[in-house]
Amino acid sequence: MGWFTRLRQLPLKLSGSCPRFAFWASKLSPLRRNRLIGGCSGCRLLAVLVCSAGPVAADTAKDFVDLELVLAVDVSMSMDLDEQRLQRDGYVAAFRDPRLHRAIEDGPNGRIAVSYVEWSGGHMQSLVVPWRIIASPQDAKTFADALADRPISRSFFTSISGAVAASHSLFASSPVRGLRRVIDVSGDGPNNSGTPVEAARDQVVAAGAVINGLAIQLADRTGPYTYFDLPDLDRYYRDCVIGAPGAFVLAIRNSREFASAIRKKLLLEVAGRTPGGEARVWRAQVQSNPEKYDCLIGEKMWQQYQRNRGNWP
């Protein structure tokens, strides 16, 4: 077997066995990184040269994970306690699920880092479970147990922009470096507090993170807060919230879908994939699109609500 053939057969998991290569790959754009890990012979040769260049400071295998994931979960008053419990239980069940354990083990490094944040208004973001390294099924179950033990907080207003900004700031305190950084935002309404959501999204995407979404749009909801519901919230998330190549949004349309949708979303994020078939996927926002959603719709609805109550002229 010639040297060229041997070179082409180098393991594709080189990023897991060579921390220097993993760190170098993490600096690439998602498109270039996918091409690199997908493996052409030239890329493999480059990997060999990088890995054989000798040690560098902090280049130890434990410093790298396949994914740094912030779960940013809406706990605004527009979600009733039953919905919030279903949402929390969905995440707990997912991290106890062997399918998620296998997905994590199948990654180049076989481990991820996760933190869990609850949010509502512009200044209400609570770190429920700080960064945890998940490298085994027991690690995942421990994360699930910690999450199950925490009380669920509730507060007023919906600031997706605040949630995105606060979630992104957590990467600075992460104990590891991931090949990918993802913020996963779930919510049941549009941004109506804090800065405009597009500006926050664009800033985070420019810094190299991906924003995915879980749009909770239950048709049978009742109560005063349904005034702010959008029947096509997934479209709003598509145009205004998610960002970066490969970003996607999934929708929950009835309460029975919480567990399955959360599990599916996490499996896709761990694997670095996007949904297909019936799921809706949008890879980027097109600012000039005439059919683009009004990303200030939540702020406008709040202003109109105040006028209807006689609070504003």
Average pLDDT over residues 141-146: 98
Domain 64-284+293-302: CATH class, spelled out: alpha beta
Mean pLDDT of the chain: 79
Within 8 A by CB and 6+ apart from 6, the residues are none
Position 285 scores a pLDDT of 44
pLDDT digit string, tens, across residues 268-281: 999 999 887 433 44
Please say whether the beta carbons of 209 and 180 come within 8 A: no
Task: Quickly state the pLDDT bin for 9 (edges 50, 70, 90).
Answer: very low
Instruction: Supply the angle between the helices 81-95 and 137-149 in degrees, to the nearest 10.
Output: 160
Instruction: Give the residue, 184 or 47, on which the prediction is more confident.
Output: 184
Position 132 scores a pLDDT of 98
Single pTM value for the model? 0.77
- In whole angstroms, give the CA distance from residue 274 to residue 112: 18
Residue 289: pLDDT over 80: no
Bridge-based pairing state of the strands 249-252 and 64-65: unpaired
Best CA proximity match to 229, nearest among 80, 77, 78? 78
Task: Quickly state the pLDDT bin for 244 (edges 50, 70, 90).
Answer: very high
pLDDT digit string, tens, across residues 149-182: 998 877 778 899 999 999 999 999 999 999 999 9
Average pLDDT over residues 97-126: 93
Position 154 scores a pLDDT of 72
Q: Is 3 in a helix, a strand, or coil?
A: helix
- In whole angstroms, give the CA distance from residue 116 to residue 277: 29
CB atoms near residue 230 (< 10 Å) = 18
Domain ranges of the chain: 3-58, 64-284+293-302
Task: Quickly state the pLDDT bin for 227 (edges 50, 70, 90).
Answer: low
Residue 119: pLDDT over 70: yes
Residues 286, 288, 294, 295, CA torsion sign: positive
Q: CB-hemisphere CA count at 13 Å for 308?
A: 7
Please say whether the beta carbons of 190 and 228 come within 8 A: yes
Instruction: Give the residue, 23 or 173, on which the prediction is more confident.
Output: 173
Average pLDDT over residues 69-80: 88
Instruction: Give the residue, 56 or 29, on which the prediction is more confident.
Output: 29
Residue 141: pLDDT over 90: yes
Query: What does the radius of gyration of the chain's CA atoms come to, in whole angstroms?
Result: 21
Distances (CA, A) of 212 to 74, 86, 205, 219, 234: 14, 20, 11, 22, 11
